[in-house]
Amino acid sequence: MVNPLGRNIKSAIRIDNGAKIRIGNQVGMSCVVLWAKGQIDIGDNVMIGADVMILDSDMHSLNYMNRRDFRTDASDAKVLPITIGNDVFIGTRSIISKGTSIGDRSIVAAGSVVTKSIPADEIWGGNPALFLKKIQH
């Protein structure tokens, strides 16, 4: 299936040495980037919109001298796990940053940058993503 929001770009999943990605059952993804240097855990019944990036690391050193050489560039990049709960919806073109978790049934609005953990049953959005409202069941 082609999603026009993803402009027919292929998804990319990169798992570095020793890293893990767990994807639950009934997970839908369109044109996403998953890059694990540590661990990314995605629950069941999750929808991940087009062009979403889920990155559990800074990917590059914060030290400019290390960045000058590709062999040391990622040597001290900070790595923290990401956990995405069950029944989560992540809107198109969002970025999920290292060390965050998204609670069950929560929604991330399109174009958001998640830098803090999101509790269950909440809607967050913006850059950086902020609490918008509780979800009533």
Query: Using one digit for the tens of pLDDT, what is the confidence trace for 35-48?
Result: 999 999 999 999 99
Look up residue 67 and give its two tokens.
């960045």
pTM flag (> 0.95): no
41, 80 contact by CB (below 8 A): no
The alpha carbon dihedral of 40, 8, 47, 137 has a sign of positive
Burial class (CB in 10 A: 0-12, 13-18, 19+), 122: middle
pLDDT of residue 103: 98
Distance CA 134, CA 137 (A): 10
Indicate the SS3 state at residue 42: strand
The whole-number pLDDT of residue 19 equals: 97
Q: Give catalytic status of residue 60 as yes or no.
A: yes
Task: Give the active site residue among 7, 60, 116, 133.
Answer: 60
> pLDDT tens digit string along 104-127?
999 999 999 999 999 999 999 999
Listed by start position, the domains of the chain span: 11-134
Residue with tokens 């590059």, as numbered in its chain: 60
Q: Which has the closest alpha carbon to 108: 13, 32, 4?
A: 32
CATH class of this structure's domain 11-134 = mainly beta
Question: Residue ranges of the chain with pLDDT lower than 70?
Answer: 1-3, 6-7
The pLDDT of residue 1 is 55
Structure confidence at residue 55 (pLDDT)? 98
